[in-house]
Structure 1
Amino acid sequence: MKVIIDRITTNQIKELMTISRETFTDTFGSANDPQNLTQYLDSAYSALQLRSELNNADSTFWSITVDGVWAGYLKLNIGQAQSENFGDAALEIERIYVRRRFKRQGLGTKLYQLALNQAEQLGKTRIILGVWEHNEPAQKFYQRLGFHQIGAHTFQLGTDAQTDYIMEKKLTN
């Protein structure tokens, strides 16, 4: 199994749209109203929205491929790109998305390790992320990595206001 992690560019918008919609739907689709889901997907994962995010200097996107097939991706934010103002000392993991058929192969951990390396290179002292209150597998994954809940915020999925837990891991230098 050959695993490669690379920066995503605006030339890969179509692939990014596809994997974003697929992984979000696989993870959250069955637990949400189809109309709200479609509304969210059309807004959050449109070519225009993703291009804007890719062009933001405070965000980076990384793909992970297995034997040449996109298996998932990571989105990191600092500064003004953060979903909330977590401060200059924080790196935000906004997305670790892994396709269903590639789960339980350690790819999420590899993407997390990249985030950790990026945080260290940028001199960040903490990593922040949000995870849906009903996504227990993700919560347990992040807890195993040393994250703990420090708060919550609203995540708007169409007309449905949902709760994301804010989790943090402090880094030691």
Structure 2
Amino acid sequence: MNTIAIRKAELGDLAAVQEIARATFFETFAATNTEADMRHYLTEKFSDATVSAELNHPDSSFFIAWADETPIGYLKINTGPAQTEPQGDTALEIERIYVRNAYHGKKVGQLLYEQALVSARQQNKTQLWLGVWEENPRAIRFYEKNGFVAFDKHIFQLGTDQQTDILMRKILA
């Protein structure tokens, strides 16, 4: 297998982030959502304007996993006002860990998660939190294996469909 490198993304990585985001979101969720809802979400959430604003936000960071010169996954983390739901100044949100299906089971998600831990510790955060779709058992198991526990739920809007995300938290020692 190729060597996996994790690098912090910059605005110049816009196309790579968009490509990974669109491909992995489609691979993961297309079979369980309508074509119209998927098209709307992919167009709106991963547009040039939206992703550029996210990459430029001072309280958000992206990290791309590369297999040689191929982007295969990414991590998006948020603090402060960039969090999708306020969890306080001591929290770091993992908004996305997206990995191409071809690289599932190769520890890419674990490497991206470990980057979130490093970032949290560098910023003196005391907790990590995230939302995960209640119908994504693979992701739920991944987070539980890494010490996350459910603490609440919220609604995630995918096109016209309201879906329930489980909010999970990990307290850092």
TM-score by length of 1: 0.97
Q: Name the aligned partner's letter for residue 20 of structure 1.
A: A
Corresponding position of 1:28: 29
For 1:29 and 1:163, locate their aligned partners in 2 and report how far apart those are by CA, in whole Å.
17
Residue in 2 that maps onto 1:156: 157
Query: Deviation per CA, 1:16-69, whole angstroms, max 9, x where unpaired?
Result: 111101000100110001101111111100011000000100000000111221
Query: Hey, what's the Cα distance between the residues in 2 that align with 1:17 and 1:54?
Result: 11
Tell me which residue corresponds to 1:60: 61
Sequence identity percentage: 42
Alignment of 1:23-172 (within 5 A): 23-172=24-173
The code of the aligned residue for 1:142 comes to Y
Q: AA paired with 2:161?
A: D
1:82 Cα deviation (Å)?
0.2
Q: Quick check: 82-91 or 62-71, which moved more?
A: 62-71
Indicate the SS of the match to 1:64: strand
Deviation of 1:7 after TM superposition, in Å, equals 1.0
Q: Could you tell me how far apart the structure 1 residues matched to 2:18 and 2:69 are?
A: 18
- Counterpart amino acid of 1:90? A
SS at 1:88's partner residue? Answer: coil
Q: Name the CA distance, whole Å, in 2 between partners of 1:33 and 1:4.
A: 34
- 1:18 is aligned to 19
Unaligned 5+ runs, structure 1? none
Number of residue pairs aligned between Structure 1 and Structure 2: 172
How far did residue 13 of structure 1 move?
Answer: 1.3
Runs (4+) off by over 6 Å: none
How many Å separate the matches in 1 of 2:110 and 2:15?
25
Scaled by the length of structure 2, what TM-score is found?
A: 0.97
Runs of at least 5 residues in structure 2 that lack an aligned partner in the other structure: none
SS at match of 2:156: strand
Alignment partner of 1:86: what SS?
coil
Corresponding residue SS for 1:70: strand
